[in-house]
Amino acid sequence: MATISDCDLAIAGGGLAGCLIALAFAARRPDVRLLLVEGGEALGGNHVWSFFDSDVAAGDRWLIEPMIAHRWPQGHEVHFPGHQRLLSTPYNSATSRLLDTHARQMLGERILMGTPIHSLTPSSIALSDGRTFRAGGVIDARGGGDLAALQCGWQKFVGQALRLRTPHGLTRPVIMDAAVEQVDGYRFVYILPWDEHTLFIEDTYYSDSPDLDGPVLDRRIAAYAKARGWPVEAVVHRESGVLPVVHGGDFERFWPSDDPVARAGARAGLFQPMTGYSLPDAIRFALDVERAWPMDGAALAHMTRARAARHWRQGGYYRLLGKMLFRAAEPDRRWRIFERFYRLDAGLIGRFYAGRSTVTDRIRILCGRPPVPIRSAMRAVLRPSA
């Protein structure tokens, strides 16, 4: 494969954020000499990324559309003890397999894979095999990085795609089934019906600890399927993850102002603080960078850090809610916060997940009978963040 020794834009990391930036440039600025560097052998890792229609602006959907494997226009459900609800907002799932295929088709020889990155500067990427690639600008999109400056709870999960011997009978996703045993924080099961005989089932926790015991969660998924009467023929896909739910911290320490290299994705803190989900922000960010081009490495670092700092400021309300969830609510009672939330207006719920809650939304979420003790909530809110 031919390689590029000099380019206009080099992207370190071929995950979701890095690939979306590269694809935005390939589609809208084909004249830009681009290099996407991924140390592994596949783009996108091993993931299913799901989102509501309301998470992504209609005019931006083109960027993620080729990676959407499943779509449910009939909406989705949530289940809690004594409360079930159908919400009409359509739901979508994109997969890393389709991302890998689409990016390879669109980018071709502009992808460099299989060699770890050693170091970055604003204008170069050095690989572990001794090669160095010069660039007009460099973006670091290599995952979460150092989270020591942030205060986090964790959303952790194991997901399995199960092929069943008989039809499962579901017609729409169940994005939260919290009518399950509450262990290790707030636990819920997430279900996507991929086809008549295939379900993606994810066992998910809002936990104080990032520790993930995969075999235990595998057994809980098997027990859940058995209890629902779904005979499993085979596990055809498995993934796991641990996402930060940020409820405090110091952005200046997370991304020091003298750090000269631009960042993207989770490495820039560009995710919804209460959920850890990054896809909507990754789409918006990729298109923002494309629209702001051309830039050199210094300008790119300034632009991306300013964008991330604005996102951090705008996320203050969601970090407040996270602080109440993790510091004020007893772990086995956290489900009550989500149960109450899912009794609110559907539009409010959609804006919340998109990270676009209005002032009225924010007041409404905090009004009414509190799902956690007032004294505990006040202690959580008033306790300073590190």
What is the chain's Cα-based Rg? 21
Amino acid making up residue 304: T
Contacts of 55 (CB under 8 A, 6+ apart): 279, 280, 350, 353, 354
Task: Give the whole-angstrom CA distance, residue 122 versus residue 28.
Answer: 23
Question: Per the structure block, which two tokens stand in for 349?
Answer: 């719920």
Contact 115, 129 (CB under 8 A): yes
φ/ψ of 283, rounded to 5, equals: -65, -50
Find the Cα–Cα–Cα–Cα dihedral 360, 362, 368, 369, rounded to 10°: 170
Q: Cα dihedral sign for 374, 377, 379, 381? A: negative
Q: Which residue has the tokens 């498995």?
A: 238
Task: Give the whole-angstrom CA distance, residue 74 versus residue 92.
Answer: 11
CA distances from 278 to 22, 266, 293 (A): 17, 7, 22
Give the CA count within 13 Å in the CB-facing half-sphere of 345. Answer: 12
pLDDT tens for the 386 residues of the chain, in order: 334 468 999 999 999 999 999 999 999 999 999 999 999 999 999 999 999 999 999 999 999 999 999 999 999 999 999 889 999 999 999 999 999 999 999 999 999 999 899 999 999 999 999 999 999 999 999 988 889 999 999 999 999 999 999 999 999 999 999 999 999 999 999 999 999 999 999 999 999 999 999 999 999 999 999 999 999 999 999 999 999 999 999 999 999 999 999 999 999 999 999 888 999 999 999 999 999 999 999 999 999 999 999 999 999 999 999 998 998 788 888 999 999 999 999 999 999 999 999 999 999 998 866 555 544 444 544 455 55
